[in-house]
Amino acid sequence: MAGILIIGEVQDGAISAVSDELLAAACKLVDEGVGGGISLAVMGDDLSAVTAAQAPGADRVIRMSNPALKHEGTGGYDAPVLAVAALNESISPDIILFAKTDFGAVAGPRVAFKLGVAVAQDCIDVALDSKTGRVAVTRPVFGGNALGIYDFNGDGTQVATIRPGVFDPVEGEGSGTIEDFDVSNAVAGVRAVLVETVIQDSEGVRLEDADVIISGGRGLGGPAPFEQLQELADLLGGAVGASRAACDAGWVDHSYQIGLTGKSVKPTIYLSVGISGASQHMAGLSGARNIVAINKDDNANIFKSARFGVIGDWEKVLPAFTATVRDLAG
């Protein structure tokens, strides 16, 4: 086999944490018998700060630097797709992995279309099928109510997007080589050009990185209670999340949304307040280690997944809990 190509992402000049999770997925496949090594490719207009030490588990890090790939390649899709297609032609990997981020969820399928091959999206596991020598992927189906295992037909390149938060990042320091790949010819004819990027300022811990998440749903009844969730999150050094129902109601921005059509998270503690636990929401919590639920409906689906649950009115339970946390914090 010709190996695994990871399309990594760069954050603050370094290889991002979600790319480390892709490296973990690739290492799992290598342990199961996939040969050819692991290559991690990153894109941007200035990748001088990216080093092989930032990619534990990778045999080589490939830097694709070009002005058309500014903003780490995530500012547009035409140029990154052409760059990856050119790299694919050069190294001919058997497997290409993207993270299911805002970038990867769009670029991954576009690369697959460009190559004329199939793509498996939103995968939560990858494994080597010993009978076929091909990759089998596991992904949620029927709105997250079940899991399906799929094989890739034929013998073409296998492209998959991996849900963030389902693999623990590879730890340590990388020892692979670093290479530069010239994509100037590939991106010369790009028609779509990034004009402007508007970044929304946020304070505190990023939802995707939070070890503690306090999340609210329809049961809160309005936007004001989210201030109480934020107060508790600040005490615990965590972040605030929300269900789709709360976001659709306009109580909080959709950047807070957790679930099948929102963000996937993997906190140590996930405290849900007024969330029923629909399968679409629970699909974003597959990596959560401990779910704690507060809901007045004792038949709420969330209690099936919760390690600890409180059946009661959140307006009575949450203030008392917050006060206790504040006292313990001194």
So what's the pLDDT on residue 1? 45
> What's the number of domains the chain is made of?
2
Q: Which of 202, 203, 252, 200 is nearest to 226 (CA)?
A: 252
User: Do residues 15 and 109 share a domain?
Assistant: yes
Q: What's phi and psi for 128, nearest 5 deg?
A: -90, 125
Show Cβ contacts of residue 278 under 8 Å, excluding neighbours closer than 6 positions: 243, 259, 301
So what's the pLDDT on residue 305? 92
So what's the pLDDT on residue 74? 57
In this structure, is residue 235 part of a structural domain? yes
Helix (H, G, I), strand (E, B) or coil at 110: helix
User: Do residues 13 and 88 share a domain?
Assistant: yes
User: Do residues 62 and 127 share a domain?
Assistant: yes
Q: Report the alpha-carbon distance of residue 3 to residue 61 in Å, rounded.
A: 14
Compute CA distances 301 → 117, 164, 236, 245, 298, whole Å: 38, 24, 26, 15, 9
CB of 4 closer than 8 Å to CB of 30: yes
So what's the pLDDT on residue 310? 95
CB of 283 closer than 8 Å to CB of 265: no
Q: What is the overall mean pLDDT for the chain?
A: 90
Q: Report the alpha-carbon distance of residue 238 to residue 281 in Å, rounded.
A: 19
Show Cβ contacts of residue 315 under 8 Å, excluding neighbours closer than 6 positions: none
So what's the pLDDT on residue 202? 66
User: Do residues 141 and 222 share a domain?
Assistant: no
Please give the share of the chain, as a percent, with pLDDT higher than 70: 96
Tokens of 327: 């006292």
- CATH number of the domain bearing residue 55: 3.40.50.620
Residue 72 one-letter amino acid: E
User: Do residues 53 and 94 share a domain?
Assistant: yes
Whether the per-residue pLDDT at 238 is higher than 70: the answer is yes
pTM of the model: 0.81
User: Do residues 162 and 102 share a domain?
Assistant: yes
Q: Which of 218, 249, 248, 216 is nearest to 318 (CA)?
A: 216
CB of 257 closer than 8 Å to CB of 250: no
User: Do residues 45 and 173 share a domain?
Assistant: yes
Show the domain range for 302.
207-329
In this structure, is residue 199 part of a structural domain? no
User: Do residues 173 and 211 share a domain?
Assistant: no
CB of 282 closer than 8 Å to CB of 144: yes
Mean of the pLDDT values across residues 12-16? 87
Q: Report the alpha-carbon distance of residue 33 to residue 27 in Å, rounded.
A: 10
pLDDT tens for residues 46-98? 899 999 999 999 999 999 999 888 765 555 788 999 999 999 999 999 999 99
User: Do residues 215 and 129 share a domain?
Assistant: no
Confidence band of 170 (pLDDT split at 50, 70, 90)? confident
In this structure, is residue 197 part of a structural domain? no
Compute CA distances 276 → 75, 238, 255, whole Å: 36, 22, 20
Note the helical H segments in the chain. 17-31, 78-91, 104-115, 225-236, 244-248, 279-282, 302-305, 314-329
pLDDT tens for residues 264-307? 888 999 999 999 999 889 988 878 999 999 999 999 999 999 99
User: Do residues 134 and 24 share a domain?
Assistant: yes
Question: Alpha-carbon Rg of the chain, whole angstroms?
Answer: 21
In this structure, is residue 189 part of a structural domain? no
Confidence band of 320 (pLDDT split at 50, 70, 90)? very high
Q: What is the largest CA-CA distance in the chain?
A: 64
